[in-house]
Structure 1
Amino acid sequence: MSKARWHILREGDRLTVARRVPVRWDLAVQTTLPDAGRLRIAQQVRQDMWRALQDLRGFAPVVQVTRVDGVLQVKAGGAVAGAVAREKLEAEISEVLNCPKRRARWLRHAQHKRVAA
């Protein structure tokens, strides 16, 4: 089985990690984090979101991290094939984004070896 490929799109202060391009946002949740390595944050959020929603068929995750005024605005969600309970899925993504243990881990990981992304 071949390794899944993820697209990394850089546009100024915005970095997007997506399963498919063009990026499509059928559902999305946002949060703010302290400034850290955008790519590392995006990859950690994507990984945790993917684990939480791994049984959702046709899900193409997207995580967008934008540096604004010294903080990171994180948008997580993506495209879903077929009819889904959008509010329920957004609640699950929100749980991932707002979990204090995950947030602390993401920041530790992103600040351990800060990359310029």
Structure 2
Amino acid sequence: MARSGWHILKDDAGVTLCRHLPPRFDFTVSTVLPSGRAVRLAHQIRQDLWRALQMLRGFSPVVRLEQIAEGWQVMAGGRVAVPVTTAVTARAQAVLDDPSNRARWVRSAGCAK
């Protein structure tokens, strides 16, 4: 575990950021973002996902980035201790789709446009 308390798992396909091992997706939402620094991008997404869903009992964010031709295929979600509702999934997807979040993440991670 890194000093930050987050596990950064790298493999040939991409990067996974999680607090607990093994990473577990009890729910997932996805998007595509341009190429940039994967770990920085994952942390930015994780922070905003946490802010949106911290009230969800037992929530622990997990973010997976896989390299694709368009940049990064982003899968975000995580562990939860309660059943996942459509409202939770919709809120998480709204975080990924928010134009201001996306612009900030792209800037922060030095993504190619």
TM-score by length of 2: 0.90
1:18 Cα shift?
0.5
Q: CA deviation at 1:24?
A: 1.1
- Give the % identical residues: 45
Q: Distance in 1 between matches of 2:4 and 2:53?
A: 16
* Structure-2 separation of matches of 1:103 and 1:34: 10
Measure the CA separation in 1 of the matches of 2:23 and 2:78: 8
Using the TM superposition, give the Cα deviation of residue 84 of structure 1 relative to its aligned residue in structure 2, in angstroms. 3.6
Cα separation, 2, equivalents of 1:70 and 1:4: 30
The unaligned stretches of length 5 or more in structure 2 are none
- C-alpha distance in structure 2 between counterparts of 1:84 and 1:47, whole Å: 20
* Amino acid in structure 1 at the alignment position of 2:60: A
Matched, 1:88 2:94: no
5+ residue gaps, structure 1, are none
Q: Report how many residues are paired.
A: 110
TM-superposition CA deviations, 1:45-79 (whole Å, max 9, x none) = 00000011111110111000111124110000011
Counterpart of 1:24 in 2: which secondary structure? coil
